[in-house]
Amino acid sequence: MRLYRFFNMVSEMLNRACKAFCLIIGSVLVVNLFLGVFTRFVLNNPLGFTEEIARFCMLWFAFIGGSIALRQKELISFTFLIDKAPKTVRQGMRILNLVLVIVFLSVFLAAGTDAMKIFRFGKASVTKINQAWTASGIYVGAAVMLIHCITDLLKEFSMVLQKGKGEEGL
């Protein structure tokens, strides 16, 4: 139970930080896109960097935003099997689902370290920003998602333990 509370606190702090980051990166994205449209269609002299900056911001925004959605249980998921299962099996299926997501994210992060070694040599054509910085948004988002999933898994286990203690008292 103590471990769950610790992970829940860390997960909530990361979620708040991600929300603030998305607010900032979203604002940069809006200003950047406005600047790109204005210079291209009003001034007829487009700025070359606006497309790259938009792409980088969208990548970070999507994965960090995805971690926020996961924490708030608003990320799209296919729960029709869990919803159709008998009540006695649902919790086990939710646990299995979380374990599978944790395994996927762990493999993704492990494989991503090799990709990051490759990305560190690439630079964006206009802004000359190192590609590792842009690609790291994927891995930061996945790492935060992993923490959220571990928190949810610990919550499910604590609920199982509480049910077990409640039945012993009967």
DSSP state letter for 21? H
Per-residue model confidence (pLDDT) at position 166: 64
DSSP state letter for 169? T
Per-residue model confidence (pLDDT) at position 84: 85
Task: Give the rounded distance of the alpha carbon of 15 from its chain centre.
Answer: 10
Per-residue model confidence (pLDDT) at position 170: 43
Say which residues have a Cβ less than 8 Å from residue 51's Cβ, sequence separation at least 6.
36, 126
Per-residue model confidence (pLDDT) at position 124: 86
**pTM for this prediction:** 0.86
- One-letter amino acid identity for 41? F
Burial of 72 (0-12, 13-18, 19+ CB in 10 A): exposed
| Residues of the chain predicted below pLDDT 70 | 78, 166-170
User: Contact 118/112 with Cβ under 8 angstroms?
Assistant: no
Domain count, the chain: 1
Task: Give the rounded distance of the alpha carbon of 163 from its chain centre.
Answer: 31
Per-residue model confidence (pLDDT) at position 167: 56
Per-residue model confidence (pLDDT) at position 58: 94
Q: Which domain holds residue 119?
A: 2-168
